[in-house]
Amino acid sequence: MHKIFKVLGFPNSGGDEMQIAVSGGKGGTGKSTVAINLAIALQDYFNLTLADLDVEAPNDHLLLGIELQNEEPVKMFMPSFDYSKCTKCKKCAEVCEEKAIITMKDGTPFLIPTLCSGCRACEIICPVTGAILESQKLMGHTYLTETPYGFPLVTGKLLEGEERAMPIVTMAKKRAKSLDRRLLLVDTAAGTSNTVSKALEDSKLLIAVTEPTPLGLHDLTLILELGRLMNIEAWVVINRSDLGEKKRVKEIAQKYNAEIVAEIPYSEDIVRSYIKGEPIILSESKEARIFKELAERVVNYLR
Ligand code: SF4
Ligand code: SF4
């Protein structure tokens, strides 16, 4: 289903891709709720892709009520050693910044797989052809799922028990960009880790979702600081805006020159929509109106 584009001047596909990001604090702030509802509203104006880069706990598909499709594995380089060729020179261990290669007294190298980042420095420096062989470790998957709302959802999902999220974020973002849509809407992980920075990279706008609680204020400060460091304009959406102290949110937003663009009161209808996988924006509710107005602000900003 492709909707009619309401705004002239935004080509249907191709051209320079724009990127905006929805980010926020620890789980449950409503970041994904904002991302999926905004994506549905923006699809009226842009040919877009939604990328769920919260790879440790992706849930945009659940909120959209769809099952992930088109799985592709994400594998990472890992060295293995051909001891019949290795001269035990220790160069691989010396170059490894992660200290993922240890050597025995005689110089025989061993890999500690959990420390390896897959940078290939050991392979590059090894002076003996064939002493380091390529092994691959499965880190997780990316998915490309058509939604019933006219836009594709790209999802990154880290393998359970795996901690290195960066390759998944990188590959999911690459897959989303390869679709070459006019707008890429990125839903980042919570917090301000390097994977969040990777997800935010190239964004024109950061929409920080927060709650007016002490933890929410703390996380909001961190994400706005990251936005400032990355030179990305930031807006603030206050979720459950009637359940806390908004004055402090306003002070923090003002400090970072971030406009508060939407306030979403606590709503059982939103909770119900979450459980049913039926986005609230499809209803005639006042919450749907808030998301539509937010989308209009985004459109005017990107225009
Ligand atoms: S790939 Fe990089 S991190 Fe892994 S063992 Fe080699 S040098 Fe170390
Ligand atoms: S750099 Fe190559 S030859 Fe030297 S110890 Fe490592 S694997 Fe062996």
Which of 92, 124, 133 has most ligand 2 atoms within 8 Å of its beta carbon, as the pocket-test mutant?
A: 92
Please report the atom of ligand 1 found closest to the CA of residue 117.
3
Asked if the model's pLDDT at residue 28 lies above 80, the reply is no
| Confidence label for 30 from pLDDT (cuts 50, 70 and 90) | confident
Distance from C-alpha of 83 to C-alpha of 133, rounded to nearest angstrom:
10
Q: Which ligand 2 atom is the nearest neighbour of the CA of 122?
A: 1
Question: Please, which residues have CB within 8 angstroms of residue 211's CB and are 6 or more apart in sequence?
Answer: 25, 29, 30, 238, 239, 240, 243, 244
* pLDDT at 275 (0 to 100): 82
Q: Where does ligand 2 bind, in terms of residues with CB under 6 Å?
A: 81, 86-92, 107, 109, 126, 128, 131-132
pLDDT in tens, 192-251: 889 999 999 999 999 999 988 888 889 999 999 999 999 999 999 999 888 777 889 999
Whether the Cβ atoms of residue 149 and residue 48 lie closer than 8 Å to each other: no
Name the pTM for this structure.
0.86
Calculate mean pLDDT across residues 63-83: 96
Q: In the prediction, which pLDDT does 14 show? A: 44
| Atom 2, ligand 1: residue with shortest CA distance | 119
Ligand 1 pocket, residues with Cβ under 6 angstroms = 79, 95-96, 98, 100-101, 111, 116-122
The model's confidence at residue 39, banded by pLDDT at 50, 70 and 90, is: very high
Q: What is the CA radius of gyration of the chain?
A: 22
CA of 69 to the centre of ligand 2 (A): 42
Give the ranges where the chain is alpha helix by DSSP (H): 31-42, 60-64, 91-95, 121-125, 166-178, 194-200, 214-229, 246-255, 268-276, 286-302
The Cβ-side half-sphere exposure at 221, using a 13 Å CA radius, reads 8
Residue type, 294: L
Domain ranges within the chain, ordered by starting residue = 18-73+140-302, 83-130
**Confidence band of 16 (pLDDT split at 50, 70, 90):** low
Q: Residue 175 is encoded by which pair of tokens?
A: 């897959």
The 10s digit of each residue's pLDDT in 258-294 is 999 999 988 888 888 878 888 999 988 888 999 999 9
Q: CATH number of the domain at 83-130, please?
A: 3.30.70.20
| Domain at 18-73+140-302, CATH homologous superfamily | P-loop containing nucleotide triphosphate hydrolases (3.40.50.300)
d(CA 98, CA 118): 10
DSSP 159: P
